[in-house]
């Protein structure tokens, strides 16, 4: 049995020895390098652009400006294509633009024989701008007299629902209504590998794009759309990837690389962003401002939640229109017995474009909700953990928005488990009535998340298995390994169902849209959930073929046979080997009269989406005069159904916790309110926490068995980073008595609040 064990990752040794090749490691003879000419202002129009000097620099092959690119707008969000014309992504971007909408917008691009020449040529491109008023936040972007950033105005989408009853009535039944305003900042993914892509042609009609992408098949479609060429002429190849976290669930460089390559006669052209450019012109997490109200009875029944939220998508739509709808709806699985009303507005602004980032809006929405749950509990003098236990989802509850039953739910068990791990009850008593410079506090927050995007989007996954001559099996999947470990998990699943050892399953880690099965890629914590049925079915089919073939070889009845640990055995006498699999395999390939290569190829559409659950518990110390938070203990407890690979699952949790701590206490892209200027687009000034800042990270799992999961499993990739921020905020409140309703709670933020509260 392979599921539930922690075999060594398929890519572990290749990665730590440096043998794994990433896009930037790949090069071709004659490869050219392209570099964007970026706008130094956040909003305006190009009046005049002169490329002559750049073009005459030795080593420059070409310069293209916004006047040279097709007048074609395309959407970049990495969503599956939608047959419903009302559900398509917003096409608001051209390859280059004369109307610049953020500091860093792309007005021209230089192609040169090497990077340094390209950099030098960029400086020689002379551009004159007419400046427009800049709007960086909701207050200015949504004012009536603010000039629109795109035709059609600055609001790009709104989502509304009211479910579980009427909010007004629910609040009438409440004894206490609490309300607060929350703010979350712009943070970025900071994947280790920056965006990198190159394109080449080795015939007259097909263009090959090699890219660090989470979504090769979607990328193929978008390159086709952007360049107006049939999708079948585009081939996208995804090598090893150094992380994405959603920033590569967007098509950013690929259409441009393909465009340049085609313009230049098919020569290879590479675009790779340095970190500084990656910060400003890929994607970020939406910053939000929300106003949330909650009504509770005196004995702690949460009657209703009223969420109004503005999310800032920046200069271009990307995923903006979809994120708040997706994030808002997930609260309904967390508190399914309460009335929930959501009013979300997403708007443009003159800041870097926000897109998908780990947990797709949920950390922002849940930050507000879980801060307010703390407030509601305190308003009725109830322990906030008990308050949550009383109101969170239980198995059998009906999600009032989706009107679907929650089939597996370990939310209460997660909270009870966390209570023990952190020593909640004893510490709550010990931390009462503290004075002095150093004070301890406890915090908790919980979440629910989805396992994919259904029914908003199609959920399609593909798996192909091939029996090799030596009895090993090759697994090809359309789903992408981006560091999260999916290749390994799929091999475990195949091994489990097929009856071949994990070591004898080889996985093709590279996706190539010309040969890989179709799958929309790594996002929405979907892959283990939606790929499992495809792998399982393919494994069942291949196994049936192997047994049938063995029957043919041996004269046995197929039903009397089984495949266990790489041997065909008698089903009722598993210790008795009929034929080892390699013998069967050799016969399928080389027998002159019978057989043929045994394969199974499955494309599967998942039509369920099970919620996963979990929570963060934190015990921390605040040094009030230093305005610093020191985390003493932190635990995430998850219900992600059956855990496929406990060690990798813990890795996901550790990474998500660290990312959540970054968002809570350290990270923010700082943008000037008046000019849209970006101050800290580098890893020195953008304070992503280091290993010195992150405490020991604890995790635990409550393993439910999800009936719709191929192996009882549910989502885990994104969920770990949803709740650290509200848990930490609640603990800072617990320690200091100061309620901070904004993140990040950097020392500068804490100073402002502590000074206002008279603590320093």
Partner 1 sequence: MFAIERYNKAQNVKEAVNLLAADPDAKIIAGGTDVLIRLHGGSKEYRNLVDINGLAELKEISEEAGGAVRIGSMATFSEIMDSDIVNRCVPVIAEAVSTVGGPQLRNTATMGGNICNGAVSADSAGALLVLQADLEIQGIGGEREVPVVGFHQGPGRVSLKQGDVLTAFRIKPENYKGFGASYYKYAMRDAMDIATIGCAAAARLDGDKIDELRLAFTVAAPKPIRCEHAEKTAAGKPLSEKTLEAISDIVQKDVKPRSSWRAAQEFRLHLIRTLTQRVVRQAIERAGGKF
Give one word for 87, left, alpha or beta, with left for phi > 0 and alpha for psi -120 to 50.
alpha
Min dist. Cβ of residue 116 to partner 1 (A): 5
- Whole-Å CA distances, 68 to 39, 98, 107, 138, 673: 17, 11, 10, 34, 33
Burial of residue 14 (number of CB atoms within 10 Å: 0-12, 13-18, 19+): middle
Query: Nearer to partner 1 by C-beta: 518 or 679?
Result: 679
Cβ-contact 406, 333 below 8 angstroms = yes
Query: Nearer to partner 1 by C-beta: 360 or 666?
Result: 666
* Residue 341 half-sphere exposure toward CB, CA atoms < 13 A: 16
Min dist. Cβ of residue 672 to partner 1 (A): 8
Min dist. Cβ of residue 751 to partner 1 (A): 5
Dist CA 611 CA 406 (whole Å): 7
β 126-131/44-50 pair status: antiparallel
**104 phi and psi angles, rounded to 5 deg:** 120, -5
SS3 664: helix
Min dist. Cβ of residue 272 to partner 1 (A): 12
Dist CA 703 CA 653 (whole Å): 15
Dist CA 624 CA 737 (whole Å): 11
Q: Which residues bind partner 1 (CB under 8 A)?
A: 114-116, 119-120, 123, 274, 625-627, 666, 670, 672, 679-680, 683-685, 687, 689-693, 746-748, 751, 755, 760
Min dist. Cβ of residue 376 to partner 1 (A): 33
Query: Nearer to partner 1 by C-beta: 49 or 759?
Result: 759
Q: What tokens appear for 359 in the block?
A: 């947990």
Min dist. Cβ of residue 433 to partner 1 (A): 24
Query: Nearer to partner 1 by C-beta: 570 or 751?
Result: 751
Query: Nearer to partner 1 by C-beta: 154 or 746?
Result: 746
Query: Nearer to partner 1 by C-beta: 668 or 706?
Result: 668
Query: Nearer to partner 1 by C-beta: 13 or 683?
Result: 683
Q: Which helix (H) or strand (E) holds 302?
A: strand 302-314
Query: Nearer to partner 1 by C-beta: 349 or 745?
Result: 745
Min dist. Cβ of residue 682 to partner 1 (A): 9
Query: Nearer to partner 1 by C-beta: 380 or 760?
Result: 760
Query: Nearer to partner 1 by C-beta: 122 or 332?
Result: 122
- Whole-Å CA distances, 557 to 90, 197, 499, 548, 553: 57, 53, 19, 8, 11
Min dist. Cβ of residue 439 to partner 1 (A): 16
**429 phi and psi angles, rounded to 5 deg:** -70, -45
Query: Nearer to partner 1 by C-beta: 175 or 633?
Result: 633
Q: What tokens appear for 741 in the block?
A: 């309703």
Dist CA 42 CA 675 (whole Å): 7
Select from 239, 215, 258 the least CA-distant residue to 76.
Answer: 215
SS3 451: coil
Residues 6+ apart with CB under 8 A from 673: 136, 137
Dist CA 752 CA 760 (whole Å): 10
Min dist. Cβ of residue 695 to partner 1 (A): 11
Q: What is the dihedral of CA 80, 82, 83, 88, to 10 degrees?
A: -150
Query: Nearer to partner 1 by C-beta: 166 or 755?
Result: 755
Min dist. Cβ of residue 119 to partner 1 (A): 7
- Whole-Å CA distances, 757 to 60, 288, 704, 719, 744: 59, 25, 45, 34, 18
Min dist. Cβ of residue 12 to partner 1 (A): 23
Min dist. Cβ of residue 313 to partner 1 (A): 24
């Amino acid at each position: 049995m392979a599921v539930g064990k922690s075999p060594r990752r398929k890519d572990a040794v290749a990665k730590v020895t440096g043998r794994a090749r990433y896009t930037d490691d790949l090069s071709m003879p004659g490869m050219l390098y392209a570099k964007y000419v970026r706008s130094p202002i956040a909003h305006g129009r190009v009046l005049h652009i002169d490329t002559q000097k750049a073009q005459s620099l030795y080593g420059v092959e070409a310069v293209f400006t916004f006047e040279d690119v097709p007048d074609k707008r395309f959407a970049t969000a990495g969503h599956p294509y939608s047959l419903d014309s009302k559900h398509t992504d917003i096409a608001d971007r051209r390859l280059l633009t004369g109307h610049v909408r953020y500091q860093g917008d792309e007005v021209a691009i230089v192609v040169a024989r090497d990077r340094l020449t390209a950099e030098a040529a960029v400086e020689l491109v002379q551009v004159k701008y007419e400046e427009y008023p800049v709007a960086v936040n909701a207050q200015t972007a949504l004012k009536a007299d603010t000039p629109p950033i795109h035709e059609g105005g600055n609001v790009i989408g709104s989502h509304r629902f009211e479910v579980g009853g009427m909010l007004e009535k629910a609040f009438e039944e409440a004894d206490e209504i609490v309300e607060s305003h929350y703010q979350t900042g712009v943070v970025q993914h900071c994947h280790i590998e920056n965006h990198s892509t190159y394109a080449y042609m080795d015939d007259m009609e097909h263009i090959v794009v090699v890219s660090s992408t989470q979504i090769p098949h979607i990328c193929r479609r978008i390159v086709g759309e952007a360049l107006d060429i049939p999708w079948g002429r585009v081939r996208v190849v995804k090598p090893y990837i150094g992380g994405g976290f959603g920033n590569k669930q967007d098509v950013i460089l690929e259409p441009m690389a393909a465009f340049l390559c085609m313009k230049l006669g098919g020569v290879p052209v590479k675009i790779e962003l340095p970190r500084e450019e990656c910060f400003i012109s890929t994607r970020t997490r939406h910053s939000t401002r929300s106003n949330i109200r909650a009504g509770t009875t005196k004995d702690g029944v949460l009657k209703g939640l009223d969420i109004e939220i503005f999310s800032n998508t920046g200069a271009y739509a990307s995923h903006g229109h979809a994120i708040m709808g997706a994030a808002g709806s997930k609260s309904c699985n967390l508190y399914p017995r309460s009335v929930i009303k959501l009013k979300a507005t997403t708007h443009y602004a003159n800041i870097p474009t926000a897109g998908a980032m780990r947990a797709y809006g949920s950390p922002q929405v849940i930050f507000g909700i879980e801060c307010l749950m703390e407030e509601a509990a305190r308003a009725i003098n109830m322990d906030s953990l008990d308050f949550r236990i009383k109101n969170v989802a239980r198995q059998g509850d009906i999600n009032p928005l989706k009107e679907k039953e929650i089939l597996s739910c370990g939310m209460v068990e997660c909270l009870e488990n966390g209570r023990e791990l952190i020593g909640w009850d004893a510490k709550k008593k010990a931390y009462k009535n503290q004075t002095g410079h150093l004070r301890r506090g406890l915090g908790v927050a919980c979440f629910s998340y989805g396992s994919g995007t259904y029914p908003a989007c199609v959920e399609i996954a593909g798996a192909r298995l091939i029996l090799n001559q030596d009895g090993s099996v090759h697994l090809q999947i359309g789903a992408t390994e981006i560091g999260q470990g999916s290749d390994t998990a799929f091999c475990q699943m195949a091994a489990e169902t097929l009856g071949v050892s994990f070591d004898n399953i080889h996985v093709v880690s590279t996706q190539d849209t010309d040969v890989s099965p179709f799958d929309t890629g790594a996002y929405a914590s979907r892959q283990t959930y939606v790929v499992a049925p495809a792998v399982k079915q393919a494994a069942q089919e291949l196994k049936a073929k192997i047994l049938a073939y063995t029957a043919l070889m041996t004269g046995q009845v197929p039903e009397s046979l089984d495949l266990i640990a790489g041997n065909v055995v008698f089903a009722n006498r598993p210790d008795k080997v009929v034929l080892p699999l390699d013998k069967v395999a050799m016969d399928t390939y080389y027998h002159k009269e019978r057989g043929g290569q045994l394969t199974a190829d499955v494309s599967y559409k998942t039509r369920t989406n099970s919620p996963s659950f979990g929570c963060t518990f934190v015990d921390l110390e605040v040094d009030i005069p230093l305005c610093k938070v020191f985390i003493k203990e932190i635990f995430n407890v998850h219900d992600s159904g059956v855990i496929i690979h406990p060690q990798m699952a813990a890795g996901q949790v550790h990474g998500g916790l660290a990312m959540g701590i970054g968002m809570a206490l350290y990270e923010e892209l700082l943008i000037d309110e008046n000019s849209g200027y970006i101050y800290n687009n580098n890893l020195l000034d953008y304070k992503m926490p280091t290993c010195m800042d992150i405490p020991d990270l604890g995790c635990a799992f409550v393993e439910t068995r999800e009936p719709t999961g191929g192996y009882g499993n549910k989502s885990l990739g994104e969920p770990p980073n949803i709740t650290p921020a509200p848990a930490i905020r609640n603990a800072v409140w617990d320690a200091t008595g100061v309620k901070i309703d904004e993140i990040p709670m950097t020392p500068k933020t804490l100073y402002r609040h502590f000074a206002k509260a008279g603590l320093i």
